[in-house]
Structure 1
Amino acid sequence: MKQMSRILVLDGSAAGDAAFGLAACVQQTDGGDFQPISCQQAPGKQAAEGIGLLAAQALKDAGWQAGSPFQPELVAVVVGPGSFTGLRASCATAAGYALGLDVPVVGVTRGEALCPVLDAECTQQENEALQGWMVVTAARRGRVFVETKAGTQAVALDAWQFPAGRWLVAGDAANVVASPDCVLSSTNIPDPAQIAAAACARLRGELPPRDALPLYVDPPEAKLPAAGLRSAPV
């Protein structure tokens, strides 16, 4: 498979007070390394919702804008877990760029992007007998998202019990669930190079297939009225 040398990375997954929008242009070298050559990041939910503006500026800064002889060959987007609105905006923007450029779009989770560095940290903790790693992401209403290699769940902090054994705990809400039996990681959120690397690994078949669609962990908050929907207008 052709090496994807130019990768547009989008991340609007962060939720709550940790929300931000990120767009970056990442160059894959002949040696296989991933080097960001431009990056636009802004805090707040509005930045995640308007991630298209960040993407346009990142592309311009990299010289990959429309009309340039150099264009992205792959679009990588973080699909979750995280903000409902931020995920919709970033995934829709990623799909739009991929369609316009006629290039693949690949989705990755936060845990998938951080997996190599967390696996390495677990290996270094030889005397800790770790069960594995978990990435804990801020959510709303007294909850967090917990992602492990087995999957992702949303948990209420006042009802969740830390799993048995010793775990390496990473993520922007790691301190919230810290226990005496865990090992806290300094790893927080995936950077553009890590996201790009995970997307290329998925494209090569080294990660199981995953659509570039929002990973919604929670059930929809909106419910149908008890009496059902109104009939269609005549």
Structure 2
Amino acid sequence: MTTTHRIVVLDAAPATVQARVACVLQDGSAFQVLSCRTEAGHEGIGNMACLLDEVLKDARWERPDLVVVVIGPGSFTGLRTSCSLAAGLAFGYDCPVVGVTRGEALAGALSAYVTQHDLDGWLCVMAARSGRWFVESAAPDSLTSGSVVAVRQADWEAPSGQWLIAGDVVDDVLLKAPGAFVAFPIQGEASMQEIAKAGLSRLEGHIAPRPALPLYVDPPEARLPAAGLRARPQ
């Protein structure tokens, strides 16, 4: 008997600041996007609940079976918003919610390429705040979550061997260490189908559990107001 899942996918992780929401139908090995919305900027992140309402209506779903949210690394505001929305949606519909990292969503394609070309592993390197990168490394096996760290671009050293490199700063990494990496030929973020597939794998226990909470690799960057702090009330 073929199992089907109605999967809602939420993603607001990239530092480029955008919101993506989709309804993905899983039927056996096939993952089909029935409805999807993307909106750029902080306005898009603030509008995620409305985008969610639109895709659910377009897909004609009364309720999802699973909510998958990208937990990072990435935008502090985007992660906080999308994870909160995912938790609320799962609570309201009494369905499971799982989180996946940006690297985990791409892991299937990256690991297949590593095996095909006999590389040492893969790294997903993504933009963080100015002068810093998020580096997510491949796990040694499919049941272990990989590590995610924040590094200063100037101080980071490439691992020994030859690795597959993906992420949104591939060109910068290749300039820093041109001989250590092979660039993944498909650029960009994971597709909504890939995110849904990774989330379902986590739900079914094929990859290690990870809470559906924001993955804050760096602490939030707090700044004083331009006009200074207000005076203490009298």
Identity of aligned residues (%): 49
Report the equivalent of 1:140: 129
1:28-177 paired onto structure 2 within 5 Å = 28-29=26-27, 31-64=28-61, 68=62, 71-126=63-118, 130-149=119-138, 150-177=146-173
Cα distance in 2, alignment partners of residues 137 and 4 from structure 1? 33
Query: When the two structures are superposed, what TM-score results if normalisation uses the length of structure 2?
Result: 0.85
The answer on whether the counterparts of 2:76 and 2:220 sit within 8 Å (CA) in structure 1 is: no
Compare 136-145 and 99-108 and name the one that shifted more.
Answer: 136-145
* Residue 45 (structure 1) shift: 3.0
* Paired residue secondary structure (2:120): strand
For structure 1, list consecutive stretches of 5 or more residues without a partner in the other structure. Answer: 224-232
* Residue 117 (structure 1) shift: 0.3
Over the aligned positions, Cα root-mean-square deviation in angstroms equals 1.8
Which whole-Å deviations, capped at 9, do the CAs of 1:83-140 have from their partners, x for residues lacking one? 11100000000011111111001101111111110011112213xxx22101111222
Question: May I ask how many residue pairs the two structures share in their alignment?
Answer: 212
* Residue 52 (structure 1) shift: 1.5
The answer on whether the counterparts of 2:46 and 2:81 sit within 8 Å (CA) in structure 1 is: yes
Report the equivalent of 1:227: none
Cα distance in 1, alignment partners of residues 46 and 125 from structure 2? 22
Query: When the two structures are superposed, what TM-score results if normalisation uses the length of structure 1?
Result: 0.85
* Residue 147 (structure 1) shift: 0.4
Check if 1:22 corresponds to 2:20: yes
* Paired residue secondary structure (1:131): coil
Cα distance in 2, alignment partners of residues 49 and 216 from structure 1? 19
Which whole-Å deviations, capped at 9, do the CAs of 1:6-43 have from their partners, x for residues lacking one? 0000000011xx221000000011x3211111110112
Closer/same/farther in 2, CA of residues 4 and 154 from structure 1, 3 Å limit: farther
Cα distance in 2, alignment partners of residues 19 and 117 from structure 1? 24
* Residue 55 (structure 1) shift: 1.2
Closer/same/farther in 2, CA of residues 12 and 138 from structure 1, 3 Å limit: same
Runs of 4+ in 1 over 6 A off after TM superposition: none
Cα distance in 1, alignment partners of residues 107 and 137 from structure 2? 9
Report the equivalent of 2:213: 213
Cα distance in 2, alignment partners of residues 3 and 98 from structure 1? 20
The answer on whether the counterparts of 2:49 and 2:85 sit within 8 Å (CA) in structure 1 is: yes
* Paired residue secondary structure (1:177): helix
Cα distance in 2, alignment partners of residues 3 and 89 from structure 1? 31
* Residue 48 (structure 1) shift: 2.4
The answer on whether the counterparts of 1:49 and 1:85 sit within 8 Å (CA) in structure 2 is: no
Compare 87-96 and 212-221 and name the one that shifted more.
Answer: 212-221
For structure 2, list consecutive stretches of 5 or more residues without a partner in the other structure. Answer: 139-145, 224-232
Closer/same/farther in 2, CA of residues 117 and 152 from structure 1, 3 Å limit: same
* Paired residue secondary structure (2:121): strand
1:188-199 paired onto structure 2 within 5 Å = 188-199=188-199
Amino acid at match of 2:54: Q
Amino acid at match of 1:185: F
* Residue 222 (structure 1) shift: 4.5
